[in-house]
Amino acid sequence: MGAGGDVLQALNISKAKVAVLFSGGLDCTVLARLLGDILTAGEKIDLINVAFENPRIAGQFVKQKRTVLDIYEECPDRITGRRAFEELEECCPERRWRFIAANILFSETSAHKDTVVALMAPHNTEMDLSIANTPVQDKCDFHVDDELYGGIKAAKRVLRLVADDLGLHGAAREKKRAIQFCARTAKMQSGHVKGTAAIQTFKQK
């Protein structure tokens, strides 16, 4: 799947030295805001927002005679991403922020699934697959269990206070959606799959 650099090349846009994989959630928005303070003046920051085509939703949109672009623009991460992007522009108007919308076809996701599953082993949940599918070159190892998730919830409280102090009042109140997001990704073909469930096999029609 195309990486952020490929998206920029296709659009004939010069690359920034720093980019943030950007869903508009609390973590990435705080990170972007801190980078806005750290980087030298005039340095642009790319906010790469990835939206995956959901064939179930696409079918509904076809019946409603809506555009292909609507499928991606109504993805939850695209909505929160654009909202957080506007908040960053308000907080740091002197910083050049660039919102890079990366739209990934379901057929492209499916075509690369076996390769992604092999590379991310031994992780094997729909949540792991969703994270591994994200088109970036470097990712950290990520695993969630009950004990760790309890720690995450405690840390989120601190991070929300930091976001509020940084002027990110909208992001500070954004719900934590990582597991819910991956559940939605898992439900692209079946409406009864959870993000923590073992990986299912996509069946191409």
Burial 76-94 (b: 16+ CB within 10 A, else e): ebbebbbebbebbeebbee
Strand 18-21: give its sheet, edge to edge.
18-21, 45-52, 97-104
Helix (H, G, I), strand (E, B) or coil at 96: coil
Unique residue bearing structure tokens 């929300």: 160
What pLDDT is attached to residue 167?
94
Q: Which of 114, 173, 113, 180 is nearest to 144 (CA)?
A: 180
What pLDDT is attached to residue 68?
63
What pLDDT is attached to residue 166?
94
Choice between 188 and 110, residue whose per-residue pLDDT is larger = 110
Tokens representing 119? 């590379």
Q: Would you give the DSSP letter of residue 105?
A: -
pTM of the model: 0.69
Q: Express each pLDDT in 57-73 by its tens digit.
A: 766 766 766 766 678 88
Distance CA 126, CA 46 (A): 27
Choice between 24 and 203, residue whose per-residue pLDDT is larger = 24
Residue 197 has pLDDT above 90, yes or no: no
